[in-house]
Amino acid sequence: MTSSKGTSKALALCSGLILLFLIIDQASKIWVKTSMVEGEMIEIASWFKLYFVENEGMAYGITIGSKLLLTLFRIIAMSAGLYYLIRIIRMQRFSLGFLLTLSLVIAGGFGNIIDCLFYGEIFSSSRGAVAQLVPWGSGYGDFLHGKVVDMLYFPIIRTTYPEWSPVHAGEPFIFFSPIFNFADACISVGVALLLLFYRRSFSLALELLSPQRTEETDSTAQ
């Protein structure tokens, strides 16, 4: 009974975290999408701005391969991640912090998947005009071809490369220049926490989830 309650509690907490962060991510994107024109910037502070851009790539605007293949890869990867998270929770061998960190990454992944799946179908274009919600199929793109909404911009340091620099001499330099969204931040923070605090737990989880180890466990159970 105690074992079952522990599993249920962990599942509830991880599910709640994923749902909460998905709501925050989508609420921020929908507000930007329906309030700003693509390329518009709102200055919150000298080091923090809302800068609305859309991209067809991965986190921080990285583009690899075709849009369709990238979206399908995201769906497969995050679906597998969610499946294995549930399996890891049911093992009851890992700390709640580790489970919530995995949930953070999964929430970020699904947040960007929602953009790719639906935004092209339900929003008009943001180029030159604020986007509007439109009937399904009347949007700027097709299913699986929606663009990811980015808006968080932190140009903390603005300077120029020195004239003697062998590359980009005299050109402007900005740190931190990537524009990202809340989902990207969830993924980045989650991965950083895994690397800093949960490397051993992650390695153990991969070992326990390996096909050979799973077969051994099933044989023992029989």
* pLDDT tens by residue, 22-45: 999 999 999 999 999 999 999 999
**pLDDT surpassing 60 at residue 221:** no
Q: What is the 3-state secondary structure (H, E, C) of 21-53?
A: HHHHHHHHHHHHHCCCCCCCEEEEECCEEEEEE
Per-residue confidence at 119, pLDDT binned at 50, 70, 90? Answer: very high
Single out the residue of 75, 105, 108 nearest to residue 198, CA to CA: 105
Catalytic position from the list 25, 115, 184, 218: 184
* pTM > 0.75: yes or no: yes
> Do 123 and 134 form a contact (C-beta atoms < 8 A)?
yes
Question: Is 150 in the active site?
Answer: yes
In the residue annotation, 115 being an active-site residue is answered as no
Q: How many whole angstroms separate alpha carbon 102 and alpha carbon 97? A: 9
Contact indicator for 150, 176 with CB cutoff of 8 Å:
no
Residue 145 to residue 117: CA distance in whole angstroms: 7
Compute the Cα dihedral for 22, 28, 32, 38 and give only its sign.
Answer: negative
Of residues 183 and 2, the one with the higher pLDDT is 183
Listed residue (29, 14, 26, 197) closest to 105, CA to CA: 14
pLDDT value at position 66?
Answer: 74
> What is the number of H-type helices and E-type strands within the chain?
7, 6
Task: Using the structure block, give the residue that is written with the tokens 């999408």.
Answer: 33
Is the pLDDT reported for residue 201 higher than 80?
yes
Catalytic-role residue among 25, 115, 142, 150? 150
Q: How far apart are CA 103 and CA 70, in angstroms?
A: 21
Q: Which amino acid is at 11?
A: L
Asked if residue 49 lies in contact with residue 42, where contact means CB atoms within 8 angstroms, the answer is: yes
Domains of the chain by residue range: 2-37+58-149+182-221
